[in-house]
């Protein structure tokens, strides 16, 4: 049974919220990339998540999981457009990251008594590892250079994620 949830309204709200956090230094093309993928991911993830009983989620869990997924999509999208990764690879990367974020988070949220912070940290570990895996594959295929790969992995959002992961693992 589906959960009563307005996915389009949520996606539009998320899109408008994301606009507030975009840097003025981004080009219009870069902003369009981030916002388009962000809104698309918001719509897709909430449509699937709102299937509800099939995934064992209630309305609050749908919103919580969607917010967490979108946080990663936003960060990786911004990192992609601010890095040296060629534009022809960005769409594929963000789709892979979105799928990984969705897949991991929908499973993590079923863990009894897990907090949003724990869910975010656990999922973040998998998202960052997936990103590294994608980049390694692109370097191995000679699709991107080691320098381009490094420019993304050195981005502040990626390094902050790695620092959070290290902190959580050390606790």
pLDDT digits (tens, 9 = 90+) for 9-66: 888 998 999 999 999 999 999 999 999 988 998 888 888 777 765 667 777 777 778 8
* Segment holding 82, helix H or strand E: helix 59-82
Report residue 93 as tokens. Answer: 């990367």
In this predicted structure, what is the pLDDT of residue 115? 81
- The pTM (predicted TM-score) of the whole model is 0.87
CA atoms within a 13 Å half-sphere pointing along the CA-CB vector of 42: 25
Report residue 13 as tokens. Answer: 């709200």
Q: Are 129 and 80 in contact (CB under 8 A)?
A: no
Question: In this model, does residue 1 exceed pLDDT 80?
Answer: no
State pLDDT tens for residues 100-142: 988 888 788 778 888 878 888 888 889 999 999 999 999 999 9
Q: Are 152 and 86 in contact (CB under 8 A)?
A: no
């Amino acid at each position: 049974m589906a959960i009563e949830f307005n996915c389009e309204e949520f996606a539009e709200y998320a899109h408008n919220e994301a606009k507030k956090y975009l840097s003025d230094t981004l080009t219009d093309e870069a902003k369009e990339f981030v916002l388009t993928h962000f809104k698309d991911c918001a719509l897709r993830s909430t449509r699937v998540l709102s299937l509800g009983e099939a995934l064992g989620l209630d309305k609050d869990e749908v919103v919580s999981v969607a917010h967490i997924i979108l946080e990663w999509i936003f960060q990786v999208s911004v990192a992609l457009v601010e890095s040296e990764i060629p534009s022809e690879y960005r769409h594929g990367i963000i789709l892979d990251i979105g799928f990984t974020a969705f897949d991991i988070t929908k499973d993590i949220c079923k863990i009894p008594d897990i907090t949003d912070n724990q869910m975010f940290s656990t999922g973040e570990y998998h998202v960052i590892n997936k990103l590294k895996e994608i980049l390694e594959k692109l370097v191995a295929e000679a699709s991107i250079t080691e320098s381009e790969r490094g420019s993304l992995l050195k981005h502040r959002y990626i390094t902050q994620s790695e620092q959070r992961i290290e902190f959580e693992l050390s606790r």
